[in-house]
Structure formats: C-alpha cells, structure tokens
Chains A and B, each alone.
Chain A
C-alpha cells in the first residue's frame, strides 16, 4: 500500500466484492459523473476487467449532450452491460413538490420501476458522505423498504466490515462503496488512474460544472480550472459546497432529506 488513495481504493474494492458475493441480483447506477465513473473503474479492478453486473443509467432525457456521447463511447470501450432506463414524465410526479425536487424525483420513480421490473436486491451507488449531510449518515449496506423508502431512524448496526446483506423479501439494498471518499480524493484518483471524464467538469468561458446533473436543475460554477490539476488546486482552497449548483438541495431546509427518504439516491 503506497498511498492513502490505495487505502481508499482497497476499501471500495472490498465492498464491491462483498456486494457481489452476497447480493443477487445486483446492479449499478451510473450517472456518468466523476464519482460513478471512478466506482465503475474500481469495479473493473475488483473483477479483473469485466464488470459482472448490469450498469444502469436513469435517463430523464435532460442530460447535457456531452454526457450521452461520453456514455455511449465508454459503454462500448469497456464492454459494459449498459441498460438505459427512461424515467417517467414530469406529469406523473407529485405536483406538490417544489419544482427542482419534482424534476429530481423523476429519477426516484425511474429507479423504483427498474428495481420492480428486474427484481434487483442490491443497487450499487457512487454517493459520498462529504457531499451532503443526510448522506453523511448513511450505512455502506443501506436497506430500503419495499416502496423504496429509507428509515434513517432504524438503520442496521454495521460493525467493522460485517454488512447486513439479508432482509425481508421486497426490500432492497443500496450499497455505497464510495462513502469514505472526499471530492478531492476522487479527482486525485481520476488523475492517477487516468480515468476518462466528461469534459463539462473543465472550465470554459469562466464556468464549469462541479457536480453534474440534468441541465434543467444544475448550474455551472465560476471557475477557471480547465485541467484536473487545476480542479484539485481549486478544491484545496475552496469553501463553497460541492452541491451549490444543485437546485433541488436549496428549495427548503429539508428538501434533500425528503427526496432521499422517499428513495432518491
């Protein structure tokens, strides 16, 4: 083990292998962003090149064109079993939700459909604790009820590396191999491993996407960081939160908690 990145990577690979050994059927969500890209790369390492489960994108049709181009290229180059799940239209989502939350909730609905149709018992996700306060309270193996909801009041004990992989029929697990990574670690790792990345993260005309989401509810930040090194340098000094450009986080004090309790990623 040569650096702290090796330690972070080793923990994630351990979790990926635990998930694969204990949960079937298992699938992975790929948002095409920097975190799930890194996770996908680690899955290739964990399983020696071939990702042994389907890789799924919840598609609202609202991603930026660069994202779709990147997805199709990588899926072919890496030989992924890619499944694109169209999300239900906005009209089907609870109109009482604030606008951006409502748009984001399309993904929750798409994920529920996907799980119901394909019977997944475990879904791998690239979320991290340092992104957002409710994600900081997550377990690595985090159960969801049959309707997809998260009961944060009664999370299972998770001692050392013993994860709870058994649960009643109908429920499923969200598995989070990247919880212990920070934003800056993901970038250092992306650079070290030379992992391909959507170019929208790099500044153009003084703007870049720090957190990548759909075009209707995500906004670029002011930045001149046009390379990974410059992004790392920016993150070493910034005090702005990562998800500042995500509209749905800021509609109410508990907007994101409500989204996540209802089954959002």
Chain B
C-alpha cells in the first residue's frame, strides 16, 4: 500500500449566491455525464411543464415541493457522479442567506469546491461570504465557474471583468483558484464539452478541471490523535474505541491520554470477528485497543504519543462563523465540542469582527448572526486541542447554545502557552506528599474515595435522597458521609451569607473539602443546590476523576408544590431575594453522570438508581479508576 491512501470518492461542494445557478449546473452535469437515472429527464420535463417553466435542471436536486415551487434550494444535497476517471460526491449547498447553516453543513464535508458566480450580476456579497467560509472551514481547492455566459452575450470582456474581481478577492483571503472558467450551465457549455459559443476560451472544461483535482490524502504523516469515543467492557477486556484522526499507532506504542496525562502502552488492537488482530492502525480507521495498565480513560480524552502531544490549555483563540439567532457577547457561556469532548466555555473577549465583504475588521461589543469574528474563549477545565494549522481535525470546534450548534470555528494558539508542564507539575506535587497511596486506602476500605455531587432545585429531594443513600451504603459496609447545609453552614462556613460572592465561596469550600474527604478514602455525598455550572466545574476540578455529578431533577412546579421548608412561598412573597428557581437562575448539568427524576420516580426507585450507580462506578470500578 502507498503511504497516502486516497479517499474514494472525492467530495465537491458547489457554493455561491442564490440564483447564480448552482443546482442547474449540477443537474446539467449529471445529465451530460450520463448520471441521471432512466426516466429522470422525462420526469424533469414533466415537472417543469406543470409549473410552466422551461426545462429546469435544478429539479434533479431540488426534490422538495417547496424548493420546486419557489425554485430555490433549501436543504443541502449529496449526489453521486461517476465519470470515466473517478467517482464524485457532488454537494449542493443552498445560496440563500437564510440557509447558511445548511451551506456550511454541506461544505464542511467537502474536499474541494466550485464557486458559481453569475456573469451578469457579478460577484455579490454572498459570493464573497461563501468563499470566505470555504477558507475558514479549511477548504483549499477551489474552482470558479462564471455562469450564465449565454445571458452575458458570451462576451470575453465581461468574463474577464468578473474573473479579475473574484480572483482579487480570493487572493485577499489566501485562496488561489485552480481555474476560473466561463460556462453556460443551462446549455452545458464548457461543462463536459468545449463550447463553440466561446471560442476565445481555450482552457479545460469544468469536468476536465475536476478530474485534475488531487484528492486529499489521509493525514497519516501528522502526529497521532485518537479521540476516545467510549470504553467498552467486554468479557474481561476494557476496550477503548475511537477513530484515528491523524497519524498511526502500533501495538506496543506508549500512549499519552490528555488532559489527564496518564500513560499506558497499546496491548492489542481488537477486531471482530476475532482474529490475530492487526499490529498497526492508521488515520481514518475506527479501532478498539486494550492497554497494558488499568488507567482511567473516558469519552472525551485525547490519546497521542508521548512525543508530539496536543496542547493543554484553559484558553484558546478562535476565528469563528456565528450563525446563532441571538448575538454572541462577552461573558456568555456556551458548550464547545471538539473531537469527542464537550466542555463549557465562556467568551473572554471579542477581539475583532471581520467584514467578509470588504475584508476589513473592527472592534465590536457583540457578534451578530452570520458574522465572522476572532474571539478568545476560556474554559474552567483543561482542554486538549491543536492549533488548526498544525492539525485541522483537532483544531476545529462547534459551539452549542441550548440544543443547537451556533458557531463553527478554527483554533489559533498563537501567543498562548501550552499548560501541559504546569498540569503535570501539579499532579506530581499532589502525589508525593503522602506515603499512603490511594490504592492502599482503597484496599482497606474495599472501595475508592469519591465525591458524589448532588445538584438540583430547592425541594427536588437532594437531602432526602442523600440521607437515605448514606444509610444504605453504610449498612453495606462502605465509608460514607453526607455534607449538607446543616453541617456546613453551622461551622466551616458560618461566616458566609447569601450574597452571590458568598454563595460562590460556599460552594468552593465545599468542593475543596469534599475532594479531601474523597482523597482520604471516603465516599462523600454533597446535597447543595449548587445552581451554577462554573461552581460545579470548580468542584470537579478539585476532585478530578473521582467527581460524579448527579442531577436530582424535578420541575419547578413540583418543587414548589412540595415546598418542605416554606421557602418558595416566602420567595414568591418577596421575603427572600435571589431564590434559585424563582428569582435566581438554575443551570442544569450539561452532561451529568446520572439523572434522577423525582417528579416521576418514587423515592425508593430513585435511591436504588443512585446506589446502583455508586456501586457500579465507584465500588466495583476501583481497579479501573485513576491512579494519581
């Protein structure tokens, strides 16, 4: 095998302004290359006739009634095209501004792109924006088709004027077009056959130019990156699964897992049906591996070799395209997804907003829908990532707000420090102070220490469940203790009130103390509202991998009906300020380890779910847990 294996088929996105003829170009290309199935041409003629239109090639892709009635592409489509040379997937991306997220969805899957520009209308704002987005999401191979030359009288001077304008713009954003050619897509001119209508053009046809595109090779030469998708327990094996995004690994290689910084060697590469198993796996492969040591690994971790690891950081800079319906503002909190990890991030600063039309930039207090901006993002957790220029797959991310993707971006670490050394240093300091190891404590207790962090609205049932779980765990012989408002506020935190700052400090102390309890070998259950994600993330950071977040869930109406201490009533009456759920927000856990819904589950069922979780993940999982 060659070192670089080509992908088959090559994926081409067709982008550009609405009505510049993208779908028509694709429909006609499908026809002229013999890729329309039997009866399709007759069907297109019939559908066009019924709508009183001349033959509409775009109907080959615009299959929805709404698209045909308005003659506009809404969804992004992928369609196969076979030529004598090779196979293509043609991705039709809508040009309408309203459907930019569909355009982006289509283009993000592509290896190369055709930018379609109307010869009569010329380069529009949307042509430029699409070109800019191609560049932003990492597409480097671009071909420009100046379309509707028939309507421009097949004039060479018109072609040259539009060509010069688009080439100037592309070079301004660092994109070089492989070719700019004049076409009349409706008639097939210069698509697969040289057009007699434009004898002044001597370059290749669109199809010939496509056939000259080199497919992007798999990034085997880059350092190894294996985002962990999951860990399966099968028979006695713990199989770590994921897809190699770049590089290659061999049995025996020492792997480093970030951000935890644990290392272990690859023992086997697992396959099914079971056989000897390969000795090597390369980028693009979805694999399963076992390790020689029982280190704690989970979904979201990023495996690499010990040399050339990803960067570790709490901050990163990004250039992003914002397609959320609201504005992006400084201080706003979103979730970032990169590889297989998901983490909360806060917008630290908006460094500049870029005008994709004029290519200048300005400072702004917010980023509006469909704007491109450079921002600095900050996370409470340590993030494993790469600069986009060093490793595209681990240098790009999406932002999620509520349930929806709202931005796509690429990472620049220019001027920011790799925090790996500091992270490793802290780990060592912690580990060498004690002569007793966590293992020794776990062996005596029969289980590891852990922080089981309950969170939920007032009245959701946190204390009730915590006390009952504590009682039963104690009866089963576990070292367990509950921290709740009564035993904390009376002593340790007697000096704290209920101001926002005091609440943060209250939870911070509890988090740090719970981590010490866990370090001492106890299972500690905390029963606090702890309404803010950032506070809970701090507690998680203190306890590291022994932290388990359990969401005690109940809707506000149910909690308010229960109102065990009469607090909701007082809050509604205005006697209590900043009461969570009434006059202060509650931020639901993003990815809790367990959700217990007390509105629908009886207490007994809820307690049992909690006990099952603790036994499975803390008690019986001790051998697989982290080694500090």
Residues of A within 8 A of B (CB): 1-2, 4, 6-7, 9-11, 13-14, 17-18, 20-21, 44-50, 129-130, 133-134, 136-137, 139, 152-153, 155-160, 162, 164, 166-168, 179-180, 182, 239-241, 244, 253-254, 257
Contact = CB atoms under 8 A, between A and B. Distances in A.
A10 B286 CA distance: 5
Given A152-B64, A153-B66, A159 B408 contact: yes
Nearest to A49: B272
Interface in B236-273: 239, 241, 243, 270-273
Given A1-B282, A240-B38, 12 more contacts: A1-B5, A6-B284, A44-B272, A47-B232, A130-B79, A153-B74, A157-B105, A158-B108, A160-B396, A168-B403, A180-B78, A182-B80
Given A10-B285, A21-B299, A240 B37 contact: yes
Contacts of A257: 63-65
Interface in B27-47: 34, 36-40, 43, 47
B1 A159 contact: no
Nearest to B62: A133
Given A13-B286, A133-B63, A156 B404 contact: yes
A157 B399 CA distance: 11
B365 to A, nearest CB: 25
Given A48-B239, A133-B63, A159 B398 contact: yes
Contacts of A179: 78
Given A130-B80, A137-B75, A156 B8 contact: no
B286 A159 contact: no
Contact of A253 (B1, B47, B398): B47
Which 6 pairs show the lowest CB-CB distances between chains A and B?
A133-B63, A137-B75, A4-B8, A241-B37, A157-B101, A13-B286
A257 B67 CA distance: 12
Contacts of A254: 65
A13 B272 CA distance: 12
B229 A159 contact: no
B285 A157 contact: no
B503 to A, nearest CB: 28
Nearest to B73: A137
Contacts of A239: 34, 36-38
B288 A14 contact: no
B108 A159 contact: yes
Contacts of A129: 77-80
B111 to A, nearest CB: 13
Nearest to B229: A17
A168 B402 CA distance: 10
B243 A10 contact: yes
Contacts of A14: 229, 243, 286
Contacts of A17: 229-230, 241, 286
B77 A137 contact: yes
Given A157-B105, A162-B337, A164-B404, A20 B230 contact: yes
B380 interface: no
Contact of A241 (B8, B38, B80, B282): B38
Contact of B284 (A10, A49, A155, A157): A10
B376 to A, nearest CB: 21
B119 interface: no
13 contacts: A2-B5, A4-B8, A17-B286, A44-B272, A46-B286, A49-B273, A129-B79, A137-B77, A152-B74, A159-B137, A162-B398, A164-B404, A253-B65
A24 B77 CA distance: 29
B243 A136 contact: no
A58 B204 CA distance: 52
A29 B109 CA distance: 26
Contacts of A168: 403
Contact of A159 (B9, B61, B104): B104
Nearest to B231: A21
Nearest to B409: A159
B598 interface: no
Contact of A4 (B7, B50, B76, B396): B7
B395 to A, nearest CB: 11
Nearest to B335: A166
Interface in B79-125: 79-80, 89, 101-102, 104-105, 108-109
A20 B78 CA distance: 25
B285 A6 contact: yes
B403 A45 contact: no
Interface of B: 1, 5, 7-9, 34, 36-40, 43, 47, 50, 60-61, 63-66, 74-80, 89, 101-102, 104-105, 108-109, 137, 218, 229-230, 232, 234, 239, 241, 243, 270-274, 282, 284-286, 288, 299, 323, 337, 340, 393, 396, 398, 400, 403-405, 408
For A1, A168, A240, A253, which residue has the most chain B Cβ atoms within 10 angstroms? A1
Contacts of B230: 17, 20-21
Contacts of A164: 403-405
A47 B272 CA distance: 8
Nearest to A133: B63
A179 B137 CA distance: 22
Nearest to B43: A253
A167 B393 CA distance: 26
For B64, B270, B274, which residue has the most chain A Cβ atoms within 10 angstroms? B64
A48 B232 contact: yes
A157 B109 CA distance: 12
B405 A48 contact: no
Contacts of B239: 48
A182 to B, nearest CB: 6
A7 B8 contact: yes
Contacts of A7: 7-8, 284
B75 A152 contact: yes
A71 B544 CA distance: 48
Contacts of A240: 37-38
Nearest to B220: A1
B105 A241 contact: no
Nearest to A158: B105
B423 to A, nearest CB: 26
A160 B286 contact: no
Contacts of B39: 241
Contacts of B232: 47-48
Given A136-B77, A137-B76, A159-B108, A1 B288 contact: no
Contacts of A162: 337, 398, 405
Contacts of A182: 80
A156 B79 contact: no
Contacts of B78: 129, 136, 179-180
A153 B218 CA distance: 34
Contacts of B66: 153
A153 B69 CA distance: 14
A54 B452 CA distance: 31
A157 B405 contact: yes
A1 B241 contact: no
Nearest to B282: A1
A46 B230 CA distance: 11
Contact of A166 (B271, B403, B408): B403
A7 B7 CA distance: 8
A156 B75 CA distance: 11
Contacts of B393: 160
A157 B104 contact: yes
Contacts of B104: 157, 159
A136 B64 contact: no
B615 to A, nearest CB: 20
Nearest to A132: B63
